[in-house]
Amino acid sequence: MGRTSQAQAQPNYERESELKAFDATKTGVKGLVESGITRVPRIFIHPQNGLHNKPNSLNTELKFPLIDLNDVAEDPIRRKEAVDEIREASETWGFFQVINHGIPGPILGEMLEGVRRFFEEDDEEKKKWYTRDSNTRFVYNSNFDLYSSPAANWRDTVYCQVAPHPPTPQQLPTVCRDIVVEYTQQVLRLGKSLFEMLSEALGLKANHLEEMKCGDGLALLLHYYPVCPEPELTMGTTQHADSDFLTVLLNDQVNGLQVLYQNQWVDVPHISGSLVVNIGDLLQLVSNDKFISAEHRVVANNACSRVSVACFFRNSSAKQLYAPIEELLSEDNPPKYRATTEKEYVTHFNTKGLDGTSALSHFRL
């Protein structure tokens, strides 16, 4: 019997006490690796039918969408081309990469270094930031859904709400304080441009999504994926879609991100200086399925650690309702979702956890 089967056959192996013991270390998955473990603890072992429910794509002809944003603000012809490319990618993949996006390479590099500096800091210093209090501005822990997910993921994470109300300097660790502030400002500028082109891609006026306040809030997620001794048994991040309007992702050079496209897992290629952009659940909802929020995951590896920075565009208002945009509806295209607030949606998403199912189905009419 394989280790996955053994873990499934022992549902009462005091899982909760093992979860609490792991959580109490406040050193995350990285701490496990540094302790010298050679096998993946049971709390991280995923059912094999979940790990291998879809094949990896072997189609070498597939081209992950790559969009050049050079001159899109000045050249109307180039802008129309980019909008058309964004429309096609958002309708089919739900993902695309952008180059010449306006954020300088040195800032991208320093942001990734800032993530490494934090996660590779002395344990005692890092423990000061470890918490499960979501009201704290800088939340460092391992697996936000540790106690609700079927199996834990092989990663540690920082969550930090950075807009519309930026954190004070004292609310950020010194090892990444300056670059978090600088990178956030750069991503907010890029987000404004992306929302304008996404509005145009929907056939709306350029400021439509901005006026809906889709990009008013920004959350920063810093992910650290340690080396894994048995990567075939677990995941860096389980299959999921994002609970926001739009995500802008910065990856290091280590591959691992995969997107579900035509029922196959496709590796997102590393392109130096690029950013990965993906449609979130809430943009799929307001576009009435015109744009798709694609399922994606991160595989574990036994060669080297990996870091990434995800910026989630959301509206932090608890009151504003979001429903399919009226201008996109017709007798042949009635609304497919009920209205919801961003807070209600994210609360449902977080309560459900990364269990491999879509949170959108809960809101479908």
Query: How high is the pLDDT of residue 62?
Result: 86
Confidence of residue 3 (pLDDT cuts 50, 70, 90): low
Confidence of residue 261 (pLDDT cuts 50, 70, 90): very high
Residue 335 has pLDDT above 80, yes or no: yes
How far is 56 from 306, CA to CA, in rounded Å?
20
Beta bridge partners of 138: 160
273-317 residue pLDDT tens: 999 999 999 999 999 999 999 999 999 999 999 999 999 999 877
198-239 residue pLDDT tens: 999 999 999 999 999 999 999 999 999 999 999 999 999 999
Query: How high is the pLDDT of residue 319?
Result: 85
Closest CA to 81 of 197, 189, 191: 197
Closest CA to 241 of 93, 59, 48: 93
Residue 54 has pLDDT above 80, yes or no: no
In three-state secondary structure terms, 69 is coil
Q: What is the DSSP string of 166-183?
A: PPPGGGS-TTTHHHHHHH
How far is 69 from 273, CA to CA, in rounded Å?
13
The amino acid at residue 193 is S
Query: How high is the pLDDT of residue 12?
Result: 57
How far is 220 from 223, CA to CA, in rounded Å?
10
Query: How high is the pLDDT of residue 28?
Result: 98
Confidence of residue 357 (pLDDT cuts 50, 70, 90): confident
How far is 328 from 37, CA to CA, in rounded Å?
54
Give the dihedral of Cα atoms 256, 261, 265, 270; nearest 10 deg: -30
Average pLDDT over residues 45-55: 78
Query: How high is the pLDDT of residue 70?
Result: 97
How far is 22 from 31, CA to CA, in rounded Å?
9
Kindly report the backbone phi and psi dihedral angles of residue 282, in degrees, each rounded to the nearest multiple of 5, phi listed first: -70, -30
Residue 318 has pLDDT above 90, yes or no: no
Mean pLDDT of the chain: 93
This prediction's pTM: 0.94
Query: How high is the pLDDT of residue 1?
Result: 45
Query: How high is the pLDDT of residue 325?
Result: 98
Average pLDDT over residues 97-125: 98
